[in-house]
Amino acid sequence: MLKKLLLNNRTLPVPVPLRTLAEALSWVESALVPPGHTLTRVVLNGRVICSGLAEAGSLPLADAGQRLDERTRLEILVDSPVDLSIQALDAIHNLASVVLGTLKPLAVGLWQSKPIDRQPEVETVRGDLRLVLDLMNHLFGLVDAGNADAAALQGIATMLARVETGLQMARANSDWRGVAKILLNRLEPLLKELVVEADSMQVRVLASRPAQGGRTGALAADSGWS
């Protein structure tokens, strides 16, 4: 049976019999995770079982049934909506900045291309844009819908979705000059605005974030351990 585990890098004893990984995660969720917090990373004996939102019931059967004993090293990371929001905003900012750096050179090449030319870089930009939108949708699930910063980002997300549709149509017609115009006249300004808004929201979220020591201490206090 499991004797101890690492929760947010803090070693905690396990006072109940836990024989499998599924049992351990279920107990952690019910006994140690404060309301609104989420399991985001599980590492068993050095192997990453899941990285992202994790729940005991969502594990693959082979992993859920992993046997635990006193030598098992189980590491679990728990994040709050504030932590997850900061992570999402950081990822949005970084990816938008990377895409911005590619637009002008790509647009120049597209403007000089012929309809018969293949342009795989356009699909790469579309894929990155879809990833940005996925990250933004993830963020919207974490923050208050009435948040002014979130409302501004939602407006940008709506316009980015329209740009993605426009790129798809122009690409389907091999209209490379049309794609170039969309990249420079529509996508570039939106991504610049997105970077600014993401930075602004991240500053406000960071200002409202509790001290790290307080979060870990709260987890221990909720479990009855000091």
Q: Which residues neighbour 205 within 8 Å (Cβ) at sequence distance 6 or greater?
A: 82, 85, 86, 89
Q: Give the CATH fold of the 83-207 domain.
A: Four Helix Bundle (Hemerythrin (Met), subunit A) (1.20.120)
Residue 152: count of CB within 10 angstroms of its CB: 17
Q: Which CATH number fits domain 4-79: 3.10.20, 1.20.1070, 1.20.120, 3.40.50?
A: 3.10.20
Closest CA to 143 of 83, 199, 77: 83
Domain 4-79 matches domain 83-207 at the CATH topology level? no
Rounded to the nearest 10 degrees, the angle between the axes of helix 188-207 and helix 148-172 is 150
Kindly compute the dihedral angle of the four CA atoms of residues 202, 204, 210, 211, in this order, to the nearest 10 degrees: 70
Give residue 195's Cα distance to chain centre.
Answer: 16
Name the least confident of 58-72, 146-160, 172-186. 58-72
| Domain ranges (residues) in the chain | 4-79, 83-207
Name the least confident of 109-113, 116-120, 169-173, 207-211. 207-211
What confidence score (pLDDT) does residue 199 get? 92
> pTM of the full predicted structure?
0.72
Kindly compute the dihedral angle of the four CA atoms of residues 200, 203, 207, 212, in this order, to the nearest 10 degrees: 140
16's tokens: 């109940």
- Buried/exposed code over 117-140 (b: 16+ C-beta within 10 A; e: otherwise): eebeebeebbebbeebbebbebbb
Task: State the DSSP code for 215.
Answer: H
63 has a pLDDT exceeding 50: yes
For the segment 115-157, what is each residue's pLDDT rounded down to a tens digit?
898 889 999 999 999 999 999 998 888 877 667 778 899 999 9
